[in-house]
Amino acid sequence: MKKLKMSLMILLTLISFNLIIAQDMNPDAGKLYNEGNSLLKAGNYKGAIENYDKALAIEKDYRIYYQKGVAQKKARDLKGAMKSFDDCIKMKSDFAGAYNALGGVYFQEGDFNAAITNFEKVLTLTDKSNVESIVKKNLSLAYSKLGNDELANGNSSKGIEYLKKAIGFSNYDAAYLSLAKIYSELGEWDNTISASENALKYRSKITPGGPYYYMGVAYKGKGELDKAKEMFQKAVSDATYKKTAQYELGLLN
């Protein structure tokens, strides 16, 4: 049976909170802040950070810390970004954008529990539907990672618990596929079929072979061999599942 692979090429979106305006800052700090924003937009992260540091030397402002963190994150200085977002939150504890950004950094660092804590904080601070949608997708990704880590460590019950939380926040196709895989290993055939059907229904990144393969396993387990053959035949067209599907078809013929 093929081991499920989750793509890591997932963008954790930085939410825009209209931080360009600096009218109420010290004029010199505001000038440096706006120059830093222009450099950030142009992709000159080093120059942007230098301007933010100069601005912070004149005035401590949560917006400057936030934008500095964004620049550091883009420059792949995750530890520096983490500190800047922390400093931003210390100055403005109700700023949802900083929690989302900090959650994204923790996600990239592999600390999914800390990422979840920060993403969930955003949901308590915002009533904007577009922001909630983004953050729920982020939560789904984080819980999926936790779930797959637990499954890899042999803890199926905890893995399933996390994966159910993932799909509770967003219909993430890879989370459904992970559930289909573990349910098939546990012999929970109806749950396997349901998870596979949802993986196909909400498919955006995964290939279709996985859901069809696990449905084939489930129908075989239920003794519905014609349906099992149909699913395995569909799975054969997917290179990732071709050999295992062909093997199962060979056993049924």
Give pLDDT, residue 102. Answer: 97
Q: So what's the pLDDT on residue 11? A: 38
DSSP state of 2: P
Burial 164-199 (b: 16+ CB within 10 A, else e): ebbbebbbbbbbbbbbbbbbbeeebbebbbbbbebb
Tell me whether domains 23-88 and 94-170 share a fold.
Answer: yes
Q: Assign domain 94-170 to a CATH class.
A: mainly alpha
Assigned CATH for 23-88: 1.25.40.10
N-term to C-term CA, the chain = 19
State pLDDT tens for residues 125-173. Answer: 999 999 999 999 999 999 999 999 999 999 999 999 999 999 999 999 9
Do residues 75 and 45 lie in contact, with contact meaning Cβ atoms separated by under 8 Å?
yes
* Cα dihedral 168→171→174→179 (10° resolution): 50
**C-beta separation of 99 from 122 below 8 A:** yes
Domain ranges of the chain: 23-88, 94-170, 172-253
Residue 170 — φ and ψ, nearest 5°?
-160, 145
Q: Where are the alpha helices (DSSP H) in 42-95?
A: 45-58, 62-74, 78-91
Type of residue numbered 160? I
Portion of the chain with pLDDT greater than 70, in percent: 91
- The DSSP element (H or E) to which 251 belongs, if any, is helix 242-252
- Which amino acid, one-letter code, is at 224? E
Q: How far is CA 72 from CA 23, 69, 81, 93, 102, in A?
A: 24, 5, 5, 21, 12
Q: How high does pLDDT run on average in the chain?
A: 92
Q: What is the pLDDT of residue 94?
A: 96
pLDDT per position as a tens digit, 18-70: 455 667 899 999 999 999 999 999 999 999 999 999 999 999 999 999 999 99
> What's residue 139's pLDDT?
97
Asked if 240 contacts 209 with a C-beta cutoff of 8 angstroms, the reply is yes
Q: What is the pLDDT of residue 3?
A: 39
Residue 92 to residue 108: CA distance in whole angstroms: 24
Task: Return the minimum-mean-pLDDT range out of 18-22, 37-41, 74-78, 200-204.
Answer: 18-22
Looking at 7-11, 108-112, 240-244, which range is the least confident one? 7-11
Has residue 5 got a pLDDT over 70?
no
Asked if the model's pLDDT at residue 246 lies above 60, the reply is yes
Report which residue type is found at 62: Y
198-216 mean pLDDT? 97
Name the band, by pLDDT with cuts 50, 70 and 90, for residue 91.
Answer: very high
Tokens describing residue 133: 């949608």
Short-list 25, 49, 53, CA closest to 37: 49
CATH architecture classification, 172-253? Alpha Horseshoe (1.25)
Closest C-alpha to 5, from 151, 188, 114, 108? 151
